[in-house]
Amino acid sequence: MTHHPAPERAPLKARLATQCHFFICGMVFATWGVHVPTVKAQYGLSDAALSWLMLAAGVGALIGLSQVGKWVARHGARKVVLATGLMMCAPLAVLLLMPGYAGLLLMLFCYGLFNGSFDVAMNAEAVAVEHAYKRPIMSSFHGFFSLGGMAGALIASVIAALNVAPIYHLAGASIIGFALIALASAWMMPVEATHSPEEAAREGFRLPHGTILLIGVMAAMGFVGEGAMYDWSTLYMHDVLHSPQHQAALAYGAFSGAMAAGRFGGDWVRAKLGSQATVWWSSWLSALAMTASLAAGHPWVALIGFSLVGIGFSNIVPVLFSAAARVPGTAPATGIAGVSSVGYVGFMMGPPVIGAIASGSSLAFALLLVAVFAVGVALLSRRAMRELAEPGS
């Protein structure tokens, strides 16, 4: 008698593997982030030179996003995750070994190129796992990205306290990160789950249009809100509300902690309400909480409001990525890459736009853009998502 394994075992292993990949991606992102001052100091960079490094990573990411959908469709998510995971982690190990600024620019370009590609490949795998589970689980994957970021920052803090040289921390994070990616890849879904060579041949790279473009614009608005809160909330507390440093620092923690918590509860909410209603109510929660926080002008009210903004934003991007993978006539990885490419523009441009508006008026007025864009996401959600099937249907 032929033995057939229980059908739930393979999706469970694949779910654990994908959770691991999201966690490592968040950890690597945080490890680079906490060492930005290290890179600046070692190479004697000005703020302008540092901004060019950020731009190099952004350009690399956009180029990767233009190609990775085709790669996943042709080769399957597993091979792409392995290849891009290695190339995403490798630049960390050599960031402080570059002979000059040109080499540093190249490393940041490579990091962005393969980080963006890895991000799409692991999201394509997450969509396949979600489809196998026949219920919403995408938000929990993004929750593991948030956990990875928090863990990466905590590990960096501990290592710095132990006076470990940054070069050893970066090399260790690079090696451990790729080792875990490689080990977890053995448990990924069968190649057939994300492998579609006929889709790869038909799709190639096309500028996002139609529903993909609309969902991408919504993702960009969501990323503007996230980026603004990460980059400007602490400054708002300190400079506008005159909070002491220890209280102002809580703004970042309140928002990011609420984002992580909201993502782990988001799948239950989406199962109850559906994708479009989840985006609608989440967007309005962020918009109203942000408006109330700015209108009250009180530090503790602002902290509570920023937490609610985090809960609201937590599930917008995960739900939109899941929706992008269900657009008829488009390969899942191609849909995710298209939405990511438009959304990434918002991620890069949002914080500088907030800063420009603040310099011309006030930071409080500029941060109203977060509420405005949240309303925009809500208003576009019905048009973009009303005809898309739910996961597993």
Tokens at 347, concatenated:
């991620």
Whether pLDDT at 392 is above 60: no
Which of 3.40.50.1010, 2.40.50.140, 1.20.1250.20, 1.10.3720.10 is the CATH number of 9-197? 1.20.1250.20
Per-residue pLDDT tens over the stretch 95-133: 999 999 999 999 999 999 999 899 989 998 998 898 888
DSSP 125-188: HHHHHHHHHTS--HHHHHHHHHHHHHHHHHHHHHHHHTT--HHHHHHHHHHHHHHHHHHHHTTS
Percent of the chain with pLDDT over 90: 37
Sign of the dihedral through C-alpha 113, 67, 84, 119: positive
What's the rounded Cα separation, in Å, for the pair 322 and 379?
19
Q: Is the pLDDT confidence value at 205 over 70? A: no
pLDDT in tens, 353-384: 887 888 888 888 888 999 999 999 999 988 88
> Phi-psi category of 3—alpha, beta or left, where left has phi over 0 and alpha has psi -120 to 50?
beta
Highest mean pLDDT pick, 64-73, 136-145, 173-182, 314-323 = 173-182
Residue 49, pLDDT > 80, answer: yes
CATH code of the domain made up of 210-385:
1.20.1250.20
- Is the pLDDT score of 193 beyond 70? no
**What is the pLDDT at residue 106?**
94
Same fold yes or no, 9-197 and 210-385: yes
Global pTM reads 0.81
HSE, side-chain direction, 13 A CA sphere, residue 248: 15
Domains of the chain, residue spans: 9-197, 210-385
Q: Indicate whether 198 pLDDT > 80.
A: no
Share of the chain above pLDDT 70, in %: 91
Convert the pLDDT of each residue in 59-68 to its tens digit. Answer: 898 888 888 8
